[in-house]
Structure 1
Amino acid sequence: MEKMIAWIIGRLPKPLQKLWYAHESVWMYILVGGLTTLVSLIFQMLPTALFNAVHMANWLNTGLSTTISWIFAVTFAFFTNKKYVFKSKTHTRAAFWREFYMFYGARLVTYFLELAIMELGNHFFATVHGEIITWRSLLVKIAAQIVILILNYIFSKLVIFKKREDGAKK
């Protein structure tokens, strides 16, 4: 992935290359966040459609679909953020698991926020028959992802992958 990005950036005009390299971690976070959002959307919409087909209750459908989506998205986000965004290198298992647990813990906080946004949003978009209208659920999911993306960057940058003053990882 790094070579592909370097190839693409190398073809941009010099001012855009400078802009990229001046804020590389932010741009990488946005790129990885976009890919994470795509993973999240796919794993939200597939179960939602399946659960609608079997006439699962809206509250259970939303909760279960959001949980499945969260598990896939957070797992993808941990490894891509660690490697490509924050370039965190852990030299011990303890250091790896520390980052892992902190990452999932922070994401758990934003998961509950996302779940609340999804529940409230889908409550307003439920049809007379009680089924969630898929495209409206998708709009709610996208709005939730924007809020979550910002909060997750703050947690990751300031807490989880924070460099110590000597430049080493905790």
Structure 2
Amino acid sequence: MKRYIKKFFDNEILSYLFFGVATTVVSVGTRMIIFYLTQQELTATALGNITGILFAFFTNDTIVFKQKRENWFGRLIKFSGARFFTFLLDMALTFIFVTKFPHIIGQFVGNDINIINTIEIGFAQVTIVVLNYLFSKLFVFKNK
């Protein structure tokens, strides 16, 4: 069993997907809890993203892309910069589909803001996971 687990995590794409799901759970979980407590969708989106970015960096740096400990701060800066783009995309999607025009999704779900927010989160996360892998692979975690 230990051999299969090691083999799984030695596969970069499978490992990335596993920790991508874990990052999504951390990010979305944080976001939904904050939204539930505050009903502030942009604050919830921002804090969920920050939590997800930090979790993703440490798992991607050490486990997925197996980087050496040196220069980790430089990678954190690059990683944060790349994630900042997808953060802005996430904020824009939240603003458009939840804050400004909730009726676009709402017309299909009885205008329930919690369901609208959840649907938008799902759509945004799929887009963001793909973009984040590409940015990480091509610009941040380059093995020399």
TM-score, reference length from structure 2: 0.84
1:38 aligns with 2:28: no
Residue 108 of structure 1: how far off its partner (Å): 0.6
1:70 aligns with 2:49: yes
Larger of the two Rg values belongs to structure = 1
- Aligned amino acid, residue 60 of structure 2: N
What corresponds to 1:100 in structure 2? 76
1:9 aligns with 2:22: no
- Aligned amino acid, residue 39 of structure 1: V
- Aligned amino acid, residue 4 of structure 2: I
1:41–1:138 contact (8 Å) kept in structure 2? no
Deviations 1:90-119 (A, max 9, x none): 33xxx1111010011110111001111111
1:137 aligns with 2:114: no
What corresponds to 2:67 in structure 1? 88
Residue 68 of structure 2 aligns to a residue in which SS?
coil
% of aligned pairs identical? Answer: 30
What corresponds to 1:51 in structure 2? 38
1:158 aligns with 2:138: yes
Residue 8 of structure 1: how far off its partner (Å): 8.0
What is the number of equivalent residue pairs in this alignment? 136
Task: Judge which range, 152-161 or 132-141, deviates more.
Answer: 132-141
- Aligned amino acid, residue 28 of structure 1: S
Residue 57 of structure 2 aligns to a residue in which SS?
helix
Deviations 1:67-105 (A, max 9, x none): 1101110000000011111011133xxx11110100111
Give the whole-Å Cα distance in 2 for the aligned partners of 1:51 and 1:159: 36
- Aligned amino acid, residue 7 of structure 1: K
What corresponds to 2:16 in structure 1? 29
What corresponds to 1:125 in structure 2? 102
Give the whole-Å Cα distance in 2 for the aligned partners of 1:117 and 1:49: 19
Runs of 5+ consecutive residues of structure 2 not aligned to the other structure: none
1:125–1:132 contact (8 Å) kept in structure 2? no
- Aligned amino acid, residue 128 of structure 2: I
Deviations 1:4-46 (A, max 9, x none): xx63836xxxxxx7xx58x810111110000000011111111
Give the whole-Å Cα distance in 1 for the aligned partners of 2:17 and 2:69: 23
Give the whole-Å Cα distance in 1 for the aligned partners of 2:53 and 2:135: 13
* Higher percent of residues as helix: 2
Residue 132 of structure 1: how far off its partner (Å): 6.4
Q: 1:100 to 1:49 in 2, by over 3 A?
A: same
Residue 63 of structure 1: how far off its partner (Å): 1.3
Runs of 5+ consecutive residues of structure 1 not aligned to the other structure: 1-5, 11-16, 53-60, 165-170
